[in-house]
Structure 1
Amino acid sequence: MFLNLKYPKYTYDDYKNWEGRWELIDGIPYAMTPMPPPKHQRVSNNIAWQLNELLKDCEKCKAYLPVDWKIDENTVVQPDNLVLCYEVGDKPYITKAPTLIFEILSKSTAFKDLNIKYKLYEKEGVKYYVVVNVEDTIAKVYELKDYRFVKIADAINDKVKFDLEGCEIEFDFSLIWE
Protein backbone atom coordinates (compact mmCIF):
# COMPACT_ATOMS: atom_id res chain seq x y z
CA MET A 1 0.00 0.00 0.00
CA PHE A 2 1.36 3.40 -0.99
CA LEU A 3 0.70 6.56 0.94
CA ASN A 4 -0.54 9.41 -1.16
CA LEU A 5 1.04 12.28 0.74
CA LYS A 6 0.53 15.86 -0.31
CA TYR A 7 3.43 18.12 0.50
CA PRO A 8 2.95 21.87 0.73
CA LYS A 9 4.26 23.92 -2.17
CA TYR A 10 5.95 27.19 -1.36
CA THR A 11 6.38 30.39 -3.36
CA TYR A 12 8.85 33.24 -3.56
CA ASP A 13 6.70 35.20 -1.09
CA ASP A 14 7.24 32.42 1.48
CA TYR A 15 10.93 32.04 0.58
CA LYS A 16 11.86 35.69 1.08
CA ASN A 17 10.66 35.55 4.71
CA TRP A 18 12.65 32.47 5.74
CA GLU A 19 15.68 32.77 7.98
CA GLY A 20 18.95 31.22 6.89
CA ARG A 21 19.94 30.16 3.38
CA TRP A 22 17.44 28.22 1.27
CA GLU A 23 16.75 27.32 -2.31
CA LEU A 24 13.25 26.71 -3.66
CA ILE A 25 12.80 24.36 -6.61
CA ASP A 26 9.31 23.67 -7.94
CA GLY A 27 7.88 24.81 -4.61
CA ILE A 28 10.06 22.45 -2.57
CA PRO A 29 12.45 24.09 -0.06
CA TYR A 30 16.07 22.93 0.23
CA ALA A 31 18.12 24.06 3.24
CA MET A 32 21.54 25.44 2.41
CA THR A 33 22.92 24.67 5.86
CA PRO A 34 25.28 24.04 7.39
CA MET A 35 27.68 26.49 5.83
CA PRO A 36 30.06 24.90 3.32
CA PRO A 37 33.36 23.69 4.82
CA PRO A 38 36.49 25.85 4.51
CA LYS A 39 37.90 23.82 1.58
CA HIS A 40 34.67 24.42 -0.40
CA GLN A 41 34.80 28.14 0.37
CA ARG A 42 38.48 28.44 -0.62
CA VAL A 43 37.79 26.83 -4.00
CA SER A 44 34.79 29.13 -4.51
CA ASN A 45 36.97 32.11 -3.60
CA ASN A 46 39.64 30.98 -6.08
CA ILE A 47 37.02 30.61 -8.81
CA ALA A 48 35.63 34.09 -8.04
CA TRP A 49 39.12 35.65 -8.04
CA GLN A 50 40.04 34.11 -11.39
CA LEU A 51 36.71 35.02 -12.99
CA ASN A 52 37.10 38.62 -11.82
CA GLU A 53 40.61 38.79 -13.28
CA LEU A 54 39.58 37.21 -16.59
CA LEU A 55 36.56 39.48 -16.96
CA LYS A 56 38.13 42.77 -15.85
CA ASP A 57 38.27 44.07 -19.44
CA CYS A 58 34.95 42.60 -20.51
CA GLU A 59 32.32 45.30 -20.78
CA LYS A 60 29.30 43.01 -20.75
CA CYS A 61 30.08 40.07 -18.42
CA LYS A 62 30.69 40.19 -14.66
CA ALA A 63 31.37 37.51 -12.02
CA TYR A 64 29.14 37.06 -8.98
CA LEU A 65 29.04 34.99 -5.82
CA PRO A 66 25.74 33.43 -4.73
CA VAL A 67 22.81 35.61 -5.70
CA ASP A 68 19.14 34.67 -5.85
CA TRP A 69 18.05 33.63 -9.33
CA LYS A 70 14.26 33.80 -9.33
CA ILE A 71 13.21 31.61 -12.23
CA ASP A 72 9.52 31.79 -11.39
CA GLU A 73 7.27 32.12 -8.33
CA ASN A 74 8.12 28.55 -7.24
CA THR A 75 11.84 28.36 -8.06
CA VAL A 76 14.73 30.38 -6.62
CA VAL A 77 18.30 29.04 -6.69
CA GLN A 78 21.70 30.36 -5.60
CA PRO A 79 24.58 29.12 -7.76
CA ASP A 80 27.96 29.14 -5.97
CA ASN A 81 29.72 31.22 -8.65
CA LEU A 82 28.19 32.68 -11.78
CA VAL A 83 28.81 34.98 -14.70
CA LEU A 84 26.11 37.34 -15.91
CA CYS A 85 26.37 38.99 -19.31
CA TYR A 86 23.56 41.48 -18.91
CA GLU A 87 22.60 44.43 -16.70
CA VAL A 88 21.34 43.21 -13.34
CA GLY A 89 18.99 46.04 -12.41
CA ASP A 90 17.67 47.03 -8.99
CA LYS A 91 15.75 43.91 -7.97
CA PRO A 92 17.12 41.81 -5.06
CA TYR A 93 17.40 38.87 -7.48
CA ILE A 94 18.17 38.07 -11.10
CA THR A 95 15.52 36.74 -13.47
CA LYS A 96 17.50 35.72 -16.55
CA ALA A 97 19.80 32.74 -16.92
CA PRO A 98 23.49 33.22 -16.12
CA THR A 99 25.86 32.47 -18.99
CA LEU A 100 28.23 30.42 -16.80
CA ILE A 101 27.54 28.64 -13.50
CA PHE A 102 29.93 26.86 -11.15
CA GLU A 103 28.41 24.59 -8.49
CA ILE A 104 30.78 23.15 -5.90
CA LEU A 105 29.69 19.73 -4.69
CA SER A 106 29.26 18.90 -1.04
CA LYS A 107 27.78 15.78 0.50
CA SER A 108 24.54 17.58 1.29
CA THR A 109 24.09 19.14 -2.19
CA ALA A 110 25.61 16.60 -4.59
CA PHE A 111 22.36 14.91 -5.62
CA LYS A 112 20.62 18.24 -6.15
CA ASP A 113 23.55 19.74 -8.09
CA LEU A 114 24.10 16.67 -10.30
CA ASN A 115 20.45 15.98 -11.04
CA ILE A 116 17.85 18.58 -10.15
CA LYS A 117 19.91 21.69 -10.86
CA TYR A 118 21.57 20.08 -13.88
CA LYS A 119 18.15 19.59 -15.51
CA LEU A 120 16.91 22.99 -14.36
CA TYR A 121 19.96 24.85 -15.72
CA GLU A 122 19.73 22.92 -18.98
CA LYS A 123 16.05 23.78 -19.33
CA GLU A 124 16.64 27.45 -18.51
CA GLY A 125 19.37 27.83 -21.15
CA VAL A 126 22.54 28.24 -19.07
CA LYS A 127 25.33 28.14 -21.68
CA TYR A 128 28.00 26.55 -19.45
CA TYR A 129 27.58 24.50 -16.28
CA VAL A 130 30.66 23.49 -14.28
CA VAL A 131 30.32 20.93 -11.48
CA VAL A 132 33.34 21.14 -9.18
CA ASN A 133 34.21 18.10 -7.06
CA VAL A 134 36.61 19.40 -4.40
CA GLU A 135 37.27 15.96 -2.88
CA ASP A 136 38.32 14.39 -6.20
CA THR A 137 39.86 17.63 -7.56
CA ILE A 138 38.00 17.42 -10.85
CA ALA A 139 35.53 19.73 -12.56
CA LYS A 140 33.05 18.44 -15.12
CA VAL A 141 32.42 21.15 -17.70
CA TYR A 142 29.19 21.10 -19.72
CA GLU A 143 28.15 23.27 -22.65
CA LEU A 144 24.59 23.70 -23.86
CA LYS A 145 24.31 22.46 -27.45
CA ASP A 146 20.94 21.97 -29.15
CA TYR A 147 19.16 22.50 -25.80
CA ARG A 148 21.16 19.72 -24.07
CA PHE A 149 24.26 19.79 -21.91
CA VAL A 150 27.24 18.07 -23.51
CA LYS A 151 30.34 17.39 -21.42
CA ILE A 152 33.30 19.19 -22.98
CA ALA A 153 35.94 18.52 -20.30
CA ASP A 154 36.92 16.70 -17.16
CA ALA A 155 39.21 19.47 -15.94
CA ILE A 156 41.89 18.95 -13.32
CA ASN A 157 44.88 21.06 -14.33
CA ASP A 158 43.39 22.01 -17.66
CA LYS A 159 42.59 25.34 -19.27
CA VAL A 160 39.10 25.55 -20.74
CA LYS A 161 37.87 28.28 -23.08
CA PHE A 162 34.47 29.81 -22.46
CA ASP A 163 32.93 31.86 -25.25
CA LEU A 164 30.85 34.36 -23.32
CA GLU A 165 28.77 37.08 -24.88
CA GLY A 166 31.37 39.47 -26.24
CA CYS A 167 34.27 37.93 -24.33
CA GLU A 168 36.27 34.76 -24.57
CA ILE A 169 38.09 33.62 -21.44
CA GLU A 170 40.46 30.76 -20.79
CA PHE A 171 39.84 29.45 -17.27
CA ASP A 172 42.78 27.67 -15.61
CA PHE A 173 41.45 24.94 -13.35
CA SER A 174 44.90 24.29 -11.87
CA LEU A 175 44.53 27.58 -9.98
CA ILE A 176 41.38 26.68 -8.04
CA TRP A 177 42.49 23.63 -6.06
CA GLU A 178 44.08 24.01 -2.64
Structure 2
Amino acid sequence: MALAYSEHYTVRDYALWEGDWELIHGAPYAMAPSPSISHQRIEKGFLFQFDLSLKKCTNCEVLAEIDWQSSDDTVVRPDVLIACNIEGEKLTKTPELIVEIVSPTSAKRDELTKFELYQQEGVKFYILAYPDEKMAKVYRLHEGRFIKEADYSNERFDFKIRECDLSIDFSQIWRD
Protein backbone atom coordinates (compact mmCIF):
# COMPACT_ATOMS: atom_id res chain seq x y z
CA MET A 1 0.00 0.00 0.00
CA ALA A 2 1.36 3.42 -0.95
CA LEU A 3 1.83 6.00 1.79
CA ALA A 4 0.56 9.53 1.27
CA TYR A 5 3.32 12.01 0.58
CA SER A 6 3.56 14.93 2.96
CA GLU A 7 5.87 17.91 2.76
CA HIS A 8 8.42 18.39 5.54
CA TYR A 9 10.03 21.80 5.88
CA THR A 10 12.96 23.04 7.93
CA VAL A 11 13.93 26.32 9.54
CA ARG A 12 16.04 27.02 6.44
CA ASP A 13 12.87 26.84 4.28
CA TYR A 14 10.92 28.87 6.84
CA ALA A 15 13.47 31.71 6.67
CA LEU A 16 12.63 32.21 2.97
CA TRP A 17 8.84 32.44 3.32
CA GLU A 18 6.96 35.70 3.02
CA GLY A 19 4.24 36.55 5.52
CA ASP A 20 3.72 35.22 9.04
CA TRP A 21 4.09 31.49 9.56
CA GLU A 22 4.78 28.96 12.26
CA LEU A 23 6.52 25.69 11.54
CA ILE A 24 5.65 22.73 13.79
CA HIS A 25 7.43 19.43 13.22
CA GLY A 26 8.00 20.38 9.59
CA ALA A 27 4.39 21.40 8.87
CA PRO A 28 3.64 25.05 7.98
CA TYR A 29 0.81 26.96 9.67
CA ALA A 30 -0.29 30.37 8.39
CA MET A 31 -0.81 32.99 11.06
CA ALA A 32 -3.55 35.62 11.08
CA PRO A 33 -2.35 38.91 9.58
CA SER A 34 -2.81 40.97 12.75
CA PRO A 35 -4.24 40.31 16.22
CA SER A 36 -7.54 41.96 17.18
CA ILE A 37 -7.73 44.88 19.59
CA SER A 38 -9.12 42.66 22.39
CA HIS A 39 -6.27 40.21 21.77
CA GLN A 40 -3.76 43.05 22.07
CA ARG A 41 -5.37 44.32 25.28
CA ILE A 42 -5.16 40.89 26.89
CA GLU A 43 -1.59 40.42 25.72
CA LYS A 44 -0.69 43.83 27.16
CA GLY A 45 -2.29 42.83 30.50
CA PHE A 46 -0.13 39.72 30.75
CA LEU A 47 3.00 41.62 29.71
CA PHE A 48 2.43 44.39 32.23
CA GLN A 49 1.76 42.08 35.18
CA PHE A 50 4.60 39.69 34.39
CA ASP A 51 7.01 42.56 33.79
CA LEU A 52 6.07 44.04 37.16
CA SER A 53 6.54 40.67 38.89
CA LEU A 54 9.95 40.18 37.25
CA LYS A 55 11.40 43.59 38.23
CA LYS A 56 13.59 41.98 40.89
CA CYS A 57 14.50 38.96 38.77
CA THR A 58 17.76 39.50 36.90
CA ASN A 59 17.71 36.22 34.93
CA CYS A 60 14.23 36.11 33.40
CA GLU A 61 12.23 38.39 31.15
CA VAL A 62 8.83 38.57 29.54
CA LEU A 63 8.62 38.83 25.75
CA ALA A 64 5.79 39.02 23.22
CA GLU A 65 5.39 37.82 19.66
CA ILE A 66 8.94 36.46 19.39
CA ASP A 67 9.95 33.39 17.40
CA TRP A 68 11.12 30.43 19.45
CA GLN A 69 13.07 27.85 17.47
CA SER A 70 12.91 24.55 19.36
CA SER A 71 14.42 22.34 16.63
CA ASP A 72 15.49 22.30 12.97
CA ASP A 73 11.88 21.89 11.90
CA THR A 74 9.94 23.86 14.54
CA VAL A 75 9.54 27.62 15.00
CA VAL A 76 6.55 29.03 16.88
CA ARG A 77 5.56 32.53 17.92
CA PRO A 78 3.75 32.46 21.28
CA ASP A 79 1.70 35.50 22.25
CA VAL A 80 3.60 35.97 25.53
CA LEU A 81 6.46 34.03 27.08
CA ILE A 82 8.88 34.18 29.95
CA ALA A 83 12.42 33.01 29.21
CA CYS A 84 15.46 32.92 31.45
CA ASN A 85 19.17 33.32 30.76
CA ILE A 86 18.65 34.46 27.17
CA GLU A 87 21.77 34.59 25.01
CA GLY A 88 21.93 36.34 21.65
CA GLU A 89 19.08 37.68 19.55
CA LYS A 90 17.34 34.38 18.72
CA LEU A 91 15.38 32.39 21.25
CA THR A 92 16.39 28.74 21.10
CA LYS A 93 16.09 27.83 24.81
CA THR A 94 12.80 26.49 26.11
CA PRO A 95 10.71 29.22 27.73
CA GLU A 96 9.61 28.73 31.33
CA LEU A 97 6.06 29.98 30.66
CA ILE A 98 3.95 30.49 27.55
CA VAL A 99 0.62 32.28 27.14
CA GLU A 100 -1.52 31.74 24.05
CA ILE A 101 -4.59 33.93 23.56
CA VAL A 102 -7.09 31.60 21.96
CA SER A 103 -9.26 32.70 19.05
CA PRO A 104 -11.67 30.58 17.02
CA THR A 105 -9.06 30.31 14.25
CA SER A 106 -6.23 29.33 16.61
CA ALA A 107 -8.09 27.09 19.07
CA LYS A 108 -7.18 23.70 17.58
CA ARG A 109 -3.52 24.65 17.18
CA ASP A 110 -3.27 26.18 20.69
CA GLU A 111 -5.22 23.46 22.52
CA LEU A 112 -3.81 20.42 20.74
CA THR A 113 -0.75 20.95 18.56
CA LYS A 114 1.02 23.56 20.69
CA PHE A 115 -0.15 21.93 23.93
CA GLU A 116 1.67 18.73 22.93
CA LEU A 117 4.70 20.63 21.61
CA TYR A 118 5.12 22.77 24.73
CA GLN A 119 4.63 19.73 26.96
CA GLN A 120 7.20 17.74 24.97
CA GLU A 121 9.71 20.62 25.05
CA GLY A 122 9.44 21.02 28.84
CA VAL A 123 7.67 24.38 29.18
CA LYS A 124 6.93 24.66 32.92
CA PHE A 125 3.67 26.65 32.69
CA TYR A 126 1.18 26.97 29.83
CA ILE A 127 -1.70 29.43 30.00
CA LEU A 128 -4.55 29.35 27.50
CA ALA A 129 -6.49 32.63 27.66
CA TYR A 130 -10.05 32.77 26.29
CA PRO A 131 -11.13 36.40 25.67
CA ASP A 132 -14.82 35.68 24.98
CA GLU A 133 -15.23 33.66 28.19
CA LYS A 134 -12.91 35.94 30.20
CA MET A 135 -11.25 32.82 31.52
CA ALA A 136 -7.79 31.26 31.45
CA LYS A 137 -6.70 27.66 31.91
CA VAL A 138 -3.39 27.31 33.72
CA TYR A 139 -1.29 24.16 33.28
CA ARG A 140 1.84 23.19 35.20
CA LEU A 141 4.34 20.62 33.92
CA HIS A 142 4.59 17.69 36.33
CA GLU A 143 6.66 14.61 35.53
CA GLY A 144 6.64 15.44 31.82
CA ARG A 145 2.88 16.05 31.54
CA PHE A 146 0.76 19.18 31.80
CA ILE A 147 -1.55 19.06 34.79
CA LYS A 148 -4.36 21.60 34.93
CA GLU A 149 -4.05 23.88 37.96
CA ALA A 150 -7.48 25.47 37.51
CA ASP A 151 -9.62 27.81 35.43
CA TYR A 152 -9.17 31.46 36.42
CA SER A 153 -11.41 34.46 35.75
CA ASN A 154 -11.02 36.89 38.63
CA GLU A 155 -8.59 35.05 40.88
CA ARG A 156 -4.90 35.53 41.54
CA PHE A 157 -2.36 32.85 40.66
CA ASP A 158 1.00 32.90 42.46
CA PHE A 159 3.86 30.74 41.27
CA LYS A 160 7.62 30.49 41.01
CA ILE A 161 9.84 30.40 37.94
CA ARG A 162 13.32 29.36 38.93
CA GLU A 163 14.17 31.67 41.85
CA CYS A 164 11.61 34.34 40.85
CA ASP A 165 8.18 34.74 42.44
CA LEU A 166 5.42 35.75 40.04
CA SER A 167 1.80 36.68 40.41
CA ILE A 168 -0.99 37.22 37.94
CA ASP A 169 -4.32 38.81 38.85
CA PHE A 170 -6.70 37.55 36.20
CA SER A 171 -9.33 40.17 37.12
CA GLN A 172 -6.90 42.72 35.63
CA ILE A 173 -6.55 40.85 32.33
CA TRP A 174 -10.13 41.07 31.04
CA ARG A 175 -11.18 44.56 29.94
CA ASP A 176 -14.73 45.51 29.06
Q: TM-score range by the shorter chain?
A: over 0.9
Aligned partners of 1:46 and 1:170: how far apart in 2?
Answer: 12
1:60 alignment counterpart: 59
Q: 1:166 aligns with which of 163, 166, 170?
A: 163
The count of corresponding residues between Structure 1 and Structure 2 is 175
Answer whether contact 1:60 1:165 (CA < 8 A) is retained: no
Aligned-CA RMSD value? 1.4
Do 2:49 and 2:167's aligned partners in 1 also have CA atoms closer than 8 Å?
no
Deviations 1:132-163 (A, max 9, x none): 00111100000001111000120100100121
Shift of 1:37: 1.2
CA deviations on 1:16-51 (whole Å, 9 max, x unpaired) are: 121221100011110112312111111001111111
Q: What is the CA–CA distance in structure 1 between the aligned matches of 2:20 and 2:40, rounded to whole Å?
A: 15
After TM superposition, the runs of 4+ consecutive aligned structure 1 residues lying more than 6 A away are: none
Within 5 Å, give how 1:62-81 maps onto structure 2: 62-81=61-80
Q: Which runs of 5+ in 1 are unaligned?
A: none
Q: 1:130: which partner in 2?
A: 127
User: For the Cα contact (< 8 Å) 1:63–1:82, is it kept in 2?
Assistant: yes
**Residue in structure 1 matched with residue 38 of structure 2 by the alignment:** 39
SS in 2 for 1:174: helix
Q: Deviations over 1:97-139 (max 9, x none)?
A: 1111100001111000000100110011000000000111100
Q: Give secondary structure in 2 for the equivalent of 1:116.
A: helix
**Structure 2 CA distance, aligned partners of 1:43 and 1:3?**
47
Matched, 1:22 2:21: yes
Q: Work out the percentage of aligned pairs sharing the same amino acid.
A: 41
**Aligned residue for 2:152?**
155
Asked if structure 1 preserves the Cα contact closer than 8 Å seen for 2:65 and 2:78, the reply is yes
Tell whether 2:93 aligns with 1:109. Answer: no
CA distance in 1, matches of 2:149, 2:88: 35
CA distance in 2, matches of 1:46, 1:163: 19
Q: Which residue of 1 aligns with 2:143?
A: 146
Specify every segment of 5 or more residues in structure 2 that has no aligned partner in the other structure, as ranges. Answer: none
